[in-house]
Chain A
């Protein structure tokens, strides 16, 4: 009896081990597919165009990265575009974090006339695709004299429904009513309570929103493409697209530019990745 039991256990163990190996293999195939384009980007950015075009093509890293970057710098003001993108993305991030958390705190912890109606309006704006207003927004920008300027990229998105909704959900649970009440009794006004009570308790959500906004602003393409009319004042995405349309077949050079546009983003993501992923998932499950 005990021997059959032991044999059965052994078989079950073996089966589960096989299942585990199959599971891991399947997951690894997916990981390879996810990572491969990044790998390929580095391969192309570090090889000469002739090597990339050869048959069979080169499949491993080369040694021509700096040479390729040199070609990019000779063709376009890559660091200027990098600086512009950094400025725009950071400005958006700071403004969104501030305005969204301020509104979220008011919605989550205070009762005021029309609160529900105003919040419903905010949610409804989610459904409007941004692309609907490309043409009229361009006209608005030209009336304001903002065509070609960075405030055209920064101001319209300085507060958004997504972040307010997200932080409101977090604030409702994370900030105890007693603390808000205690601050009021101590004579602290709304804004002092916001800075001294709400901001510290919303740190996690704010970090997530910051990374999310930064990545979104960094990647924005269609709007800067339309609004930034001066070829010398571009963001990285638009400059990169221009580089490729002019020097399309010089892969080594174009991919060196592409690599520079990707690396800072991956860096920001990896620094905050654990937290970032947990928050995206939580937002979707609650939403």
Chain B
């Protein structure tokens, strides 16, 4: 690091001296001010009004938020978001860990497997939502055709409450299991073999080593994947919108928070309420960020195992 004395300089001469550096970092901050910070503050202002986006704004105080608290459609969207998040995240991370452990064994053609597992993550979500829509179609889908040929009952995947939630969860699992597996695999490869040797010397069996050495050492990586899947789960939109339309299907079983915000703001042109929903999402996300931050700050507890850097 090239350190230069900068302790007792006046701001003006600092600016004169460091202008290339400030210029270099300025695009991000300017864009963040205009398209990040200002809209957040502005959305709070909009949420205190009744506004269709074109006409005059009418001040309504906290009425939007009062309505939000008793709006059954909003709470349905919140509960859907969380149910789908649970239904997708737990199997997804479990399978990812299994795949990572399997790939970590000394097997050949690891490169091919990695590419194959990662492919679902780089494809167009709209296209894949259409594919899944046809695979799970109630009448023509291949899943129901398979069930029929085994003389089992078909499932109304796209018209029943649990069918819809399952289909969306399956799409999320499909898209992100391989991604998370690759991340876990990197985590496994970063654990030094000395740690395993030491555990083996102590007479620990495979299962005990996995539970008491591998998992604790993977903790930071697992946390990373939990954080990313939380952010992804809270902003779920494309899958339900393409699969089921702007109201999330029958009984709004696939309505998520972001889809409801889109629905209210851009199909009903209720900008005030749409902004209020955006702020509710922000509060939920901040809550989770705080929980995550608390968990991450516990990370120091795992340092004693001595990760290789």
Contacts and interface: CB of A to CB of B under 8 A. Distances in A.
Interface in A115-167: 118, 121-122, 125, 127-140, 142, 155-161, 164
B183 A134 contact: no
B268 to A, nearest CB: 12
B262 A222 contact: yes
B167 interface: no
A27 B107 contact: yes
Please classify the interface of chain B as helix (H, G, I), strand (E, B), loop, or mixed, using the class held by over half of its residues.
Answer: helix
A244 B130 contact: yes
A256 B223 CA distance: 39
Contact of B186 (A161, A177, A219, A282): A282
Contacts of B115: 270, 273-274, 277
A132 B53 CA distance: 17
Nearest to A19: B105
B178 A34 contact: yes
Interface in A207-236: 215, 218-219, 221-222, 226, 236
Q: Kindly list the 4 A-B residue pairs having the minimum CB-CB distance in the complex, ordered from nearest.
A: A281-B186, A190-B20, A136-B39, A258-B127
6 contacts: A34-B177, A125-B32, A177-B2, A244-B130, A255-B130, A280-B179
A24 interface: yes
Nearest to B179: A280
Contacts of A221: 125-126, 237-238, 241-242
Please classify the interface of chain A as helix (H, G, I), strand (E, B), loop, or mixed, using the class held by over half of its residues.
Answer: helix
A102 B24 contact: yes
Contact of B130 (A109, A191, A254): A254
A129 B6 CA distance: 36
B27 A236 contact: no
Q: How large is the interface on B (under 10, 10 to 19, 20 to 34, 35 or more residues)?
A: 35 or more
Given A35-B116, A53-B140, A134-B262, 9 more contacts: A24-B107, A103-B27, A112-B18, A125-B36, A132-B279, A222-B262, A251-B134, A270-B115, A284-B225
A287 B299 CA distance: 12
Nearest to A110: B21
B278 A27 contact: no
A162 to B, nearest CB: 11
Contact of A269 (B4, B119, B132, B221): B119
A244 to B, nearest CB: 5
B68 interface: no
Contact of B53 (A35, A139, A161): A139
A285 to B, nearest CB: 5
A269 B103 CA distance: 21
A111 B124 CA distance: 41
A176 to B, nearest CB: 11
- Among B28, B132, B149, B278, the one with the most A-chain Cβ atoms within 10 Å of its Cβ is B28
